[in-house]
Structure 1
Amino acid sequence: MNTISNLLLGASAAVLVSFGSMAAAQDCPRGDLDKRFCDADGDLIADIPTDPAQLVDPDTLIFAFTPVEDPAVYKSAWSDFLTHLEKETGKSVVFFPVQNNAAQIEAMRSGRLHIAGFNTGSNPLAVNCAGFRSFAIMASKDGSFGYEMEIITYPGSGIEKVEDIKGKQLAFTSPTSNSGFKAPSAILKADYDMIPERDFEPVFSGKHDNSILGVANKDYPAASIANSVMHRMISRDVVKSDQLVSLYKSQTFPTTGYGTAHNLTPELQEKIRNAFFNFNWEGTSLEAEFSKSDEGQFIPITYKEFWEVIRKIDAANGVSYACE
């Protein structure tokens, strides 16, 4: 098998041919989607191209999981599922360890990424700029799903409530993260009249595990994080629960959304979709990792419905989905 870099370059070359043919704006409904895409059915995601010349059916599929923690942890966690995906599609599947949200979006936008789990906050950008077609999220065995944004500190920090963060440092993860930036920014402004730079010093850690470890080790006085990541880290004894104190817990948000690049052939997209929903979690590496946050199955979703609250948060923050 070729190296990952060679596979990615090959996939990029093949897909960029079809992207090149779509460079000019198409005369079709698209809403917030980039001009390369159409949305004739109004579901807010890119339509599958009707022109066979714009479809791709690669021999090797590239999969990436949202970069919330060390990619090495998740390469192992996803191994059994990717073996299942190979059987269902008849393709080779390679795990692509992306380092940040922007790189993951760009990989799909440029044709180097075929299947992905994009985190809550980057989903709208992936949908509108990269042609991501989300169809599933993880849920617990009873069908419940989601996570909360929490603002955390450490015992003895001198911060007893959210307002005590004024004049201090608050760690975010990245600008594309919902719980790591967008949701806390909107909530702090609306509910506490607290604005970055004016009321506190914002810093960016890069990832949720960095923020959580930073608070646990007293490098940051406070941080906004996804509590699903925190729960998994506590389960693995990466941090201890008594090292952290929760100051705020939000409403429940949808978690990582899974889907495909829009221009895979309809038949291949259907095989990938089926692989998610017929996967037997019991005794697998996926269950071993994600049962720590009480997740045990994939359930179908629609971006239009499930990401409505995230789009509202983006609107409140003045976030643009224009591609750069």
Structure 2
Amino acid sequence: MTSQTFRRTLLAGTIAGAIAAASLAAHADLSSRYVDTDGDMIADIPADASQWADPDTLVFAYTPVEDPAVYADVWSDFLDHLAEATGKRVQFFPVQSNAAQQEALRAGRLHVAGFNTGGVPVAVNCGGFRPFTIMAAEDGSFGYEMEIITWPGSGIEQMEDLAGRQLAFTSPTSNSGFRAPSALLRSEYGMEADEDFETAFSGSHDNSILGVINKDYEAAAIANSVGHRMLARGVIEEGDYEIIYTSETFPTTAYGTAHNLHPELQEAIQQAFFSYDWEGTALEAEFANSGEAQFIPVTYEEHWSVIRTIAEANGVTYDCD
């Protein structure tokens, strides 16, 4: 068994232990602004047609990254395809933080979006987000791993060495950037944030990676798919950081719509994702770096079960009202 395989197997058991006391039964935590009559744990499309939104311009946002302008170019061909499929103008919204993206959804300023793994439950419960797809490889496999990284020579060689040191998280809603490593450190190593180690919040996985490389942070919890893409773009180089922990595989960014868009518009948006031809596009060039090549259907109820359970183990609640 390789060391990477061992670490992944260990975290699978660790997370299982951390969430043993959490309820595994599916239940909705939706804001009172939404209803879920079909029991799929996401907001229903309003029954009253007068509440349907049919904007002339669709606003799309990808999860926050270090340089949103780079991703405006990456997504440009897809957004042209989305415009053609829906008959709408489409605008790329370069969000600067997870909080800003969540607020734009709640305020009705965001219509189509990709939310990071840990942010999906917040968007579903507080913003009426209706996720329906994620990126996957050609063979249908999908996901990423949480890694805890440090800079070479930091003196941090294993998880126990984090005691008394600094660990950077991304944001409180992030799965790999906060919730999964918090559950791991608490259950397996008996370490509590800001008691046994210092914390910082970088705002994004890109910032955490660059912060470690530049020695602004001694260690960081990241999504390795982001590191793979930064490496492929030449933003970072092999050996810039060392990995001391690798997790089991988690679902990646979910794409979906605001709940109150016209039903026919929501259907057209879904079809745009599933009919998109990746070949030769900037989207293919960027996301091939993390092994992704297509959009596949997912459901929040099934594919986010482990993420909801990790959130429960961390005492997360959704007080959206």
What TM-score do the two structures reach when normalised by structure 2?
A: 0.91
1:120-155, Cα deviation, whole Å (9 max, x unpaired): 010000000000000000001111100000000111
Contact 1:139 1:146 in 2 (8 A): yes
Following the alignment from structure 2 to structure 1, what is the Cα–Cα distance between the partners of residues 75 and 242?
31
Which residue in 1 is equivalent to 2:142?
145
1:105 to 102, 105, 117: 102
**Aligned residue number for residue 76 of structure 1:** 73
Show CA shifts across 1:178-212 (max 9, x none).
11111100111011111111110011111111110
Residue 245 of structure 2 aligns with an amino acid whose one-letter code is: Y
Question: What does residue 58 of structure 2 align with?
Answer: 61
SS at the partner of 2:222? strand
C-alpha distance in 2 between matches for 1:310 and 1:68:
21
Where does 1:209-224 land on structure 2 (aligned, <5 Å)? 209-224=206-221
> Aligned AA for 1:105?
Q
Aligned pairs for 1:1-324 (under 5 A) are 31-323=28-320
Helix, strand or coil for the counterpart of 2:113?
Answer: strand
Checking the alignment, whether the CA contact within 8 Å between 2:28 and 2:42 is kept in structure 1 is no
Cα RMSD (Å): 0.9
Superposed displacement of residue 60, structure 1: 0.5
> Match of 1:242, SS?
coil
Hey, what's the Cα distance between the residues in 1 that align with 2:277 and 2:66? Answer: 25
Q: What residue identity is the alignment partner of 1:311?
A: R
What secondary structure sits across from 2:239 in the alignment?
helix
Q: State whether residues 68 and 229 of structure 1, in contact with CA within 8 Å, keep that contact through their aligned partners in structure 2.
A: no
Normalising by structure 1, what TM-score?
0.90
Residue 68 of structure 1 and its aligned partner are, at CA, apart by 2.9
Q: CA deviation at 1:221?
A: 1.1
Rounded Cα–Cα distance in structure 2 between residues aligned with 1:115 and 1:133: 9
Q: Percent identity?
A: 67
In 2: Cα distance, 1:212 partner to 1:139 partner: 23
2:166 is matched by which residue type in structure 1?
Q
Paired residue type of 1:144: S
* Higher relative contact order structure (alpha carbons within 8 Å, sequence separation ≥ 6): 2
Could you tell me which amino acid in structure 2 is paired with residue 158 of structure 1? G
Once the two structures are TM-superposed, the CA of residue 41 in structure 1 deviates from its matched residue by 0.4
Give the partner amino acid of 1:96. Answer: F
TM-superposition CA deviations, 1:151-175 (whole Å, max 9, x none): 0011111111011010011011111
Instruction: Report if the CA contact (8 A) 2:119-2:174 is conserved.
Output: yes
Structure 1 alignment gaps of length 5 or more: 1-29
Contact 2:168 2:208 in 1 (8 A): yes
Which amino acid is 1:229 matched to?
V
Indicate the SS of the match to 1:61. strand
Cα distance in 2 between the residues matched to 1:129 and 1:110: 11
Whole-Å separation in 1 of the counterparts to 2:187 and 2:154: 25
Find the aligned partners of 2:65 and 2:30 in 1 and give their Cα distance. 26
User: Aligned partner of 2:108: which letter?
Assistant: G
**CA–CA separation in structure 2 for the residues paired with 1:198 and 1:36:** 38
